[in-house]
């Protein structure tokens, strides 16, 4: 130690004392702090792991328990060109199995049948093609009309009652499960097409019996494997997200550095949601690649995208919420960069208040009230943000983002109304 500069010697002594105090504190740290830290890390890790499962559970429960939600998921499919084309082809094929060319013999007198039968031997294929084209056109007209949308919604409304049987593997109703395939019964559409064919002069269509056409909604060899898991997620639809939130909150409260723990938990939960979103994208590719050759890829892609639409919205909402919470916790900390950000924030509003003061505007008792109870007011604003998020039926990423914008706007108003006393001296 040099005695040439008393101030330098004093600073060095202070640094040594600080190091010694820190080492002593580390040696004497009670074991319970380590135990608390261990459980804090464990609970936050559990929350991050449960985040994707919670999102899937909430999505599964909403699709089963909310008819309007389910219809909002599948109704847009009635307007999708790929789905309409697939339905048209499927219904045409089904109807033509009941309208072979030989059925035309039923429409002529017995004495004319030998002559017609001989003619059919030469031009039968052409007649079949023409009849198929005619039926296809009639089916397409029904599918492209508003009647199809009505039929589609009605069928799916009835099907929703059987959706829980899909998850448990039981068939029946308008939705059925055969092995690895989930199908939708389009019998009402067949009936509509039959009536149109008869009205357009094809009388033999009236002899078509009641046909239950199965339109494939989902086909995957993973269905039997994940059916039990989906059933469990359906049962845990409400409680699993609650458990995830409780684990994250308990982990933050147990942590020694709660602000850092909150940032970690929020980013971990956001990462869990992002991982689920990535998994949905990867599974989509694998699912489409493994479809049988006869299944329309475009229609299957449209159905998959519709079914996971709200699940993707949940992923975006949790991702945006996690980032916003992490940023809020970080910017309120004691770090240098966080302090710099807060300094810019406060300086900007301070300049605005200064301009307003020079213009003769005074906050008066309002400014003093805000300054005195600012902590409580900020807490009320944050509580309002959380309450709005919880009460929103199905928040999307855009909803969370706009809620965040509203939160920042409310905090900005409080900052502008904060009439801080001028520093003395």
Structural element, H or E, at residue 295: none
Structure tokens at 94: 């089904």
DSSP 183: E
Q: Supply the pTM of this predicted model.
A: 0.71
Dihedral (C-alpha) 255, 258, 261, 263: value to the nearest 10 degrees?
Answer: 170
Each residue's pLDDT tens digit in the chain (425 positions)? Answer: 445 566 666 667 777 777 777 666 655 545 557 788 889 999 999 999 999 999 888 887 777 667 788 888 888 988 999 999 988 988 888 888 877 655 554 554 455 555 555 545 544 456 667 778 888 888 888 889 888 888 888 888 776 665 555 554 444 455 555 555 667 777 888 888 888 887 877 777 777 777 777 777 766 666 666 666 777 776 776 788 889 989 998 998 898 888 889 889 999 999 999 999 999 999 899 888 888 777 788 888 998 898 888 889 889 989 988 888 888 888 777 777 777 776 777 777 777 766 666 666 666 787 788 778 877 887 788 788 878 887 787 787 788 888 888 888 888 888 777 776 655 44
Whole-angstrom Cα distance, residue 152 to residue 158? 10
C-beta of residue 92 within 8 angstroms of C-beta of residue 135: yes
Three-class SS of residue 8? helix
48, 272 contact by CB (below 8 A): yes
In this structure, are residues 161 and 204 in contact, taking their beta carbons and an 8 Å threshold?
no
- Domain map (residue ranges) of the chain: 62-231, 258-417
Q: How does 368-406 read in b/e, with b if 16+ C-beta sit within 10 Å?
A: eebbeeeeebeeebeeebeeeeeeeeebbbebbbebbee
The stretches of 144-210 forming alpha helices (DSSP H) are: 146-160, 163-168, 187-199
| Contact by Cβ (8 Å): 262, 322 | no
Which among 254, 309, 249, 253 is positioned nearest to 284, based on CA atoms?
A: 309
Contacts of 352 (CB under 8 A, 6+ apart): 416
């Amino acid at each position: 130690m040099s005695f040439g500069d008393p101030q330098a010697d004093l600073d060095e002594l202070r640094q040594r004392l600080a190091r010694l105090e820190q080492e002593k504190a580390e040696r004497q740290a009670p074991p319970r702090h380590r135990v608390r830290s261990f459980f804090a890390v464990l609970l936050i890790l559990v929350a991050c792991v449960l985040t994707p499962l919670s999102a899937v559970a909430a999505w599964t429960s909403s699709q089963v328990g909310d008819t309007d939600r389910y219809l909002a998921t599948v109704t847009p499919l009635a307007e999708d060109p790929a789905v309409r084309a697939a339905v048209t082809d499927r219904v045409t094929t089904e109807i033509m199995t009941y309208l072979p060319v030989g059925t035309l013999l039923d429409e002529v007198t017995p004495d004319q049948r030998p002559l017609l039968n001989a003619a059919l031997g030469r031009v039968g294929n052409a007649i079949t093609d023409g009849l198929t084209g005619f039926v296809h056109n009639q089916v397409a007209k029904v599918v492209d009309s508003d009647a199809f949308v009505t039929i589609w919604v009605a069928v799916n409304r009835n099907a929703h009652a059987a959706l829980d049987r899909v998850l448990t593997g039981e068939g029946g109703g308008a939705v059925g499960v055969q092995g690895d395939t989930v199908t939708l019964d389009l019998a009402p559409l067949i009936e509509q097409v039959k009536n149109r064919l008869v009205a357009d002069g094809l009388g033999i269509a009236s002899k078509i019996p009641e046909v239950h056409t199965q339109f494939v909604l989902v086909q995957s060899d993973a269905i039997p494997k994940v059916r039990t898991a989906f059933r469990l997620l359906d049962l845990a639809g409400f409680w699993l997200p609650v458990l995830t939130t409780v684990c994250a909150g308990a982990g933050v409260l147990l942590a020694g550095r709660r602000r850092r723990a909150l940032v970690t938990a929020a980013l971990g939960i956001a990462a869990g949601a992002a991982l689920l979103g990535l998994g949905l994208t990867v599974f989509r590719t694998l699912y489409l690649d493994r479809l049988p050759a006869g299944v329309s890829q475009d229609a299957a892609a449209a159905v998959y995208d519709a079914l996971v639409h709200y699940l993707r919205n949940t992923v975006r909402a949790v991702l945006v919420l996690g980032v916003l919470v992490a940023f809020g916790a970080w910017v309120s900390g004691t770090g240098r960069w966080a302090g710099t950000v807060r300094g810019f924030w406060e300086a900007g509003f301070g300049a605005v208040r200064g301009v307003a003061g020079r213009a003769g505007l005074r906050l008066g008792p309002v400014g003093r009230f805000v300054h005195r109870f600012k902590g409580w007011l900020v807490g009320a604003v944050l509580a309002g943000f959380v309450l709005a998020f919880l009460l929103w039926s199905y928040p999307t990423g855009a909803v969370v983002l706009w809620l965040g914008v509203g939160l920042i706007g409310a905090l900005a108003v409080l900052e502008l109304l904060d009439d801080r006393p001028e520093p003395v001296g």
